[in-house]
Amino acid sequence: MALQLYIGNKNYSSWSMRPWVMLRQAGIPFEEIMVRFDSFDAGSTFKQQLKAISPVGKVPVLVDDGFAVWDTLAIAEYAAERFPDRQLWPADARARARARSVCAEMHSGFAALRSACPMNIEASLPDVGRLIWRDQPGVRTDLARLCGLWGELLAAQPAGSLLFGQFTIADAYFAPVCMRIRTYGLPVPADIQAYVDRVAALPGVKAWIDDALAEADFLDFEEPYRLGRS
């Protein structure tokens, strides 16, 4: 039985994007099951559908022959063990530890950037981005940390590479951040922008972007800067 991956709306769901891109880019077959966001209230259709799959009632959820794995890091580790031939983590032990470290940092950190710049792939909000950049020092701090982190990793690789040379879970993990940088036009150095562009051009990421653009499912509670759009 093929893996099943439960996800939310592709335009907005940054957490769903990570394992979907990881599996797609690595060529691991899976069935996508999209659970549309209606609200995140306990009684919402979204919550009720997911509560039947996992106890946390959130996306993403990976189901393998009836066995559910939730949380993006747990899903990534499960896939890496299930498909060792796909080399989802770097082969070198120290590089692998560093990749896990940066994914864990993304998992628990960068709260200001994630809060102020929710993922919205379809939107182009550079004017909003300029105001956020001007008024929110936490966003500037988060982006400075990201640029330093990415810059250090990229400097150790051949020009034009991904964070650890070839595609790894780390690139999938930071793909939603790349989408935020694009949507809000956040200022980054040329080498970082080039990495953002390379990530966006990956077949797995491009497939997600294309699907997000085709959704045309605009949700007011996910559109803090464009309320009322229809």
Q: How does pLDDT run across 207-217, given as a tens digit for each residue?
A: 999 999 999 88
Is residue 229 pLDDT above 50, yes or no?
no
Tokens for 193, please give them.
Answer: 């922008």
pTM attached to this predicted model: 0.94
Q: What does the alpha-carbon distance between residue 158 and residue 165 come to, in Å, rounded to a whole number?
A: 7
Query: Residue 227: what pLDDT?
Result: 56
Structural domains of the chain in order of their starting residue, each with its CATH number: 3-85+214-222 (3.40.30.10), 93-211 (1.20.1050.10)
Classify strands 67-70 and 30-34 as parallel, antiparallel or unpaired. unpaired
Is residue 230 pLDDT above 70, yes or no?
no
Percent of the chain with pLDDT over 90: 87
3-class DSSP string for the chain: CCEEEEECCCCCCHHHHHHHHHHHHHCCCEEEEECCCCCCCCCCHHHHHHHCCCCCCCCCEEEECCEEEECHHHHHHHHHHHCHHHCCCCCCHHHHHHHHHHHHHHHHCCHHHHHHCCCCCCCCCHHHHHHHHHHCHHHHHHHHHHHHHHHHHHHCCCCCCECEEECCHHHHHHHHHHHHHHHHCCCCCHHHHHHHHHHHHCHHHHHHHHHHHHHCCCCHHHCCCCCCCC
Closest by CA to 200, choosing from 184, 181, 186, is 181
Percent of the chain with pLDDT over 70: 97
C-alpha distances in Å from residue 230, one per residue of 69, 220, 227: 35, 9, 9
- Give the gyration radius of the chain's Cα atoms: 17
Mean pLDDT along residues 54-71? 96
Provide the mean pLDDT of the chain: 95
